[in-house]
Structures are given as C-alpha cells and as structure tokens.
Amino acid sequence: TGLQVAGGQLLSDFSEDNHEYSIEVSSPDYKSINVTLGLDYSRYSPVTCPKIVVDDKIIHYTPIEGAQVRIPLGDDLGFVEKDIHITVSDPSQDGGSFMQMIGFKNSNDYVLHIARPPRLQALIAAESISVVDNATGQELPPTTRFDPQAAETEKYTYDISAAVKTVTVRVDCGKEVGMSQQYNGEPVPSGASRTIDLTHKYEYRLEVTCNYYDKRWKDQQVE
C-alpha cells in the first residue's frame, strides 16, 4: 500500500499507521493533480477489488491500471487549500452489525490535505489603468500601452497637455480574497479613483501597489 502524487509532493512517507497526509502542489498553474493509490491486493479477496470512495464518490478501476484519482483544484489565482477524504474497504468482508459491535473493521480512512501556492505574478499585477480628462471625459493614452499580461512593465508615463487641468486616475487590482490596494502608501478600496489637480504642476507621480496576503500560505504581505 502507498501513495503516489503526479503534480505535487507528498510531505511525509507513507506508513500503515498514518492516515493523514499533506500534499504540496508543485506549481500554482496546476488546475488538478493525480493521486495513485498503491494497494496490496494480496490482503483482499481475489474475486473483488477493494472498494475506494473519494469524497462520497466511488472510484472505478482495475488492478492493472491501478486506482487513480484526479483531484481538481479550480482556477482561483489565490492560495488553494482543500481536504480529500478517501475510504478503502473490502466489499467481500461485510461484517454486518454484529461484527461491527465487536470491533470488526473492514475499511481504512485517509485524509489528504492539499495546498496549492498562489499565482503571485497574476495576483499583484494591475488589471486596468485609466487616466481621464475631467473637462472632456476623454481617456488619455499612456506613452506605453497598458498590458495586464506584461507584469515586467511597472511604470507608465502620461504626457498630458497643459490645457488639461484635472484628471481622474483609476487602477484596478484583482478582486481575489486577500487582495488590497494602496495609492502612495495610503490604503484605498480596490478600484478606487483619485482626482489630481495638475494646475501649476509640471509632474505628478502616483505609486500604486497591489498587495496579497493569506496567512494560511505565508504570514506576510506580498506586493
């Protein structure tokens, strides 16, 4: 009997006395992992395969293929944590109510604690940036076109005409759980706008920070 994980790492060796295991997913981009249950078929009836139930769902398999379980992890960008419950039993040894009363047990229960790290680059990148001339309502273009996929671009410059007196700046950070946002070090709601008076100003710098924090993953904020 044993456990093999494709797409993750089992953080402790398998032991017959241990029924709880932690799995660390290898990449934040993985949307699922596969777990193979290595069973000692000599312990079970040669007529029937051990019955495997994962989160109340029966797994169909053959001894040649092995019992493989695909565990979906979803598309969330943030830290993912989930528990999987597995029961392995011998259907040929249903002891009935009397055998259960005297302590007969024909099954083993296991719990897999699975953790996938967050997709940090996608999380802390801005989703959109807009600078609008308040007088005309026209959105002004940056010298470098904003691309939410270009995480390496961290600075955007706007060459604004002297005729423009005030603008409204809005930056949208992600809306995943654990996200927060700052303008020049000041906490603001996600997607908050800021009006900037450019009268008598030749230059104005606004530093926007998208932060991510989830204490289940790491006890410090990432920005």
DSSP 8-class letter at 41: G
Half-sphere exposure of 155 (CA within 13 A, CB side): 2
Entry pTM: 0.77
The per-residue pLDDT for range 97-135, each reduced to its tens digit, is 433 443 445 778 899 999 999 998 888 888 889 999 999
Instruction: Give me the sheet containing 128-133, strands edge to edge.
Output: 128-133, 166-172, 193-197
Please give the single-letter amino acid code of residue 30: Y
Q: Specify the pLDDT at position 64.
A: 74
Q: Specify the pLDDT at position 105.
A: 58
Tell me the three state secondary structure of residue 42.
Answer: helix
Report residues of the chain scoring pLDDT below 50: 95-104
Q: How far apart are CA 13 and CA 172, in angstroms?
A: 44
